[in-house]
Structure 1
Amino acid sequence: MTKEIRLRPGHPFVYQTHTFTGGAGEIPIAHHAMLHVPGGVRLSFSPKSNGRTGPTPPETEPVRGRSILAYPQTFGSLASLRRADGAIIDGSFYPFDRNHEDVVVLSESPTAPIGWSAAVANKDGFIFLGLKDASLLPQTVLWMSNGGRYYPPWDGRHTAVIGIEEAAVDFHLADDGKDGESVRTALTLAPDTVTRIRYAFGAFPVPQGWSRVSDVAVSDNHVLVTDASGDARTLPFDGRFLLPG
């Protein structure tokens, strides 16, 4: 496996390519972007087929940590996430509670060529944007780490952090390389094959009045990011980077 990182003048993005050559068998793959958002963040994504939690909570022993979501569950929107106590919460705004560790996975729509994840951190002054080849990284795993692990090395200090992880992982849902929605959950390696995993991420200042990214459209030389208000910004971006090959 080789990793290539590129920066382009004037582009607010880091372009990453991981190339797998040869090998045999299946391996899970994931990028692991982490955001520290003490002021809170509003999350939005390219269209998903579903969302779910795993069969068991990340933390099951109260003396060691705390998880608050219901496990397992399937949901149609992050805005209708079910807690273990039965309450329905809007998980698209994070943090939504204190002292908890929770993980959810979102699966891309099967027809999506490009997937995106956006996080508007108004109080902290930035918008995070990640873009990927949705056919190779068809999942977005959200690790909600907000002081819910009391043991080392976290010691309850890892707060207001969210992992936005573009992935192909089994999430303990199946052992056949696909989840319940026939979404790829691993990269298949084979002799004499080459697979390139491309992922771009970046950040830019929050425009005044923005609250939630509602759409991201990629062209050959830019990306158009639109807020729920209808206001939009054009950012320089190499759209050819995400093409297969």
Structure 2
Amino acid sequence: MKPEIRTVAAQRSWIVESQSIELSLTIQGGMMAPVLFCRDTKKPVQPYYVSPWQEEQVQIDEPVLKPLRGDFFCMPFGADNRYQGETHVVHGEPATALWSAADVSHSDGITRFSARMKTTVRPGEVIKRIMLKDAQNAVYTQHELIGYSGKTTLGHHATLSAGTGPGGMLISTSPISFGLARPAVPNHSVDGEYLSLDGSKPFRSLEKVPTIWKDPSFTDLTVFPARPGYCDIAGVVSRHAVPASGGKKPRGNSTLVPAWTTAVFPGGGYLWYSLKDPRLLPVTLFWMENHGRHGAPWNGRNLCIGLEDICGYLAEGLAPSARKNPISAAGVPTVVSLSPRKPTTVNYIQGVTRVPTGFDRVMRANFAPGSVRFTAASGATVDVAVDWDFLQTGTVT
């Protein structure tokens, strides 16, 4: 049946619900926010960012900025998307154009939503599917890419409200191989953005990332908000992004080692997480916006963080990602090759769980059938019900 439509933060949005979650999805751009987790408790959680200009009557030229909020699927991902005669808008049509043919159903404790988009710059069709399971605070997302040819960047652009409560937000990822900040620009500023990270030097730990300064010469990306007045981008490569054999991508029932990102909000008493297949989405991109972008409609007022799982050379776009770059030179793919003979499917999971007092930054994740246990530096643990094998099977039961 057709899902309910409401105007949410100035955007026409489909409403997708389960016992524990109420999710708003914009018709333009397919952007997911607000999302109310734990809606069946006394303390619901809404972790996603919604841009402050939504209720303002302002001229916005960049299509992706008009509905900007929460998580959305990008293809191509990034800024410079002029490639082999194609000119894509920033983050591509799936993040900017209108979705249609929406359908929703609920049976056996599972809500299933779908919508479609036929793209024109590069012809093909994207099917968006969202699944919610009663009594779980997890969002299962699938994008099926049909009829496409050629190389592309792609990924999820999950954007969270910054942790302004006590303790801010504490960020962790599964083990990484290395990381890089955005390539340097003259005077460390561009188009009203001010940058603080040194993109010429790779790093091995999120806790020690080079800056453009002599003092401090390093900064810690595991804590946010930080570096007020700056807008920075950095990416880390998941350790399991390339098979240990160094060979081709595993086939069939090859064992998946999920990669993860977590953001703990001590003041809010909850943890947000994402789970991905690092062989398809090898890079986790940090977009750290702390009042450092002064062009319209930003106007120096935004405080948010993108924790974005992608295949691409940071946020540089399709053209730089298709060329040799510092990430691809390390043997890590920065483009996905699409074929009309076989659809490409991108499965992804995001969710929220309450955490006990004293739960701080996540140090490890242990996966068991139907659950994951996150262990904090303090030794506190939390068990989360989530069907993480969805990343490989594409089904929720």
Percent identity between the two aligned chains:
30
SS at match of 1:208: coil
1:229 paired residue number: 378
**Is 1:200 matched with 2:349?**
yes
Q: What do residues 154-175 of structure 1 show as CA deviations (whole Å, max 9, x unaligned)? A: 101102x110000001234653
Q: What amino acid is aligned across from residue 34 of structure 1 in structure 2? A: T
Q: Is the 8 A contact 1:214 1:227 kept in 2?
A: yes
**Is 1:92 matched with 2:215?**
no
Q: Note the residue ranges of structure 1 that are not aligned, 5 or more in a row.
A: none
Aligned residue among 21, 27, 34 for 2:159: 34
Aligned ranges for residues 130-145 of structure 1 at < 5 Å? Answer: 130-145=274-289
1:167 paired residue number: 310
Q: Is the 8 A contact 1:113 1:135 kept in 2?
A: no
Aligned ranges for residues 1-245 of structure 1 at < 5 Å? Answer: 1-37=126-162, 38-39=164-165, 40-57=168-185, 60-61=188-189, 64-86=192-214, 87-109=217-239, 110-111=242-243, 113-159=257-303, 161-171=304-314, 172=316, 174-176=321-323, 179-243=328-392
2:46 paired residue number: none
Q: What amino acid is aligned across from residue 164 of structure 1 in structure 2? A: L
Whose radius of gyration is greater, 1 or 2?
2
Q: Is the 8 A contact 2:160 2:306 kept in 1?
A: yes
Residue 125 to residue 230, structure 1, CA distance change in 2 (3 Å): closer
Q: What amino acid is aligned across from residue 127 of structure 2 in structure 1? A: T
SS at match of 1:242: helix
Give the aligned length. 244
Give 1:41 deviation, angstroms.
Answer: 1.1
SS at match of 2:329: coil
Q: Following the alignment from structure 1 to structure 2, what is the Cα–Cα distance between the partners of residues 232 and 59?
A: 44
SS at match of 1:140: strand
Give 1:142 deviation, angstroms.
Answer: 0.3
Larger mean CA deviation between 122-131 and 133-142 belongs to 122-131
Q: Note the residue ranges of structure 2 that are not aligned, 5 or more in a row.
A: 1-125, 244-255
Q: Is the 8 A contact 2:192 2:295 kept in 1?
A: yes
Residue 184 to residue 197, structure 1, CA distance change in 2 (3 Å): same
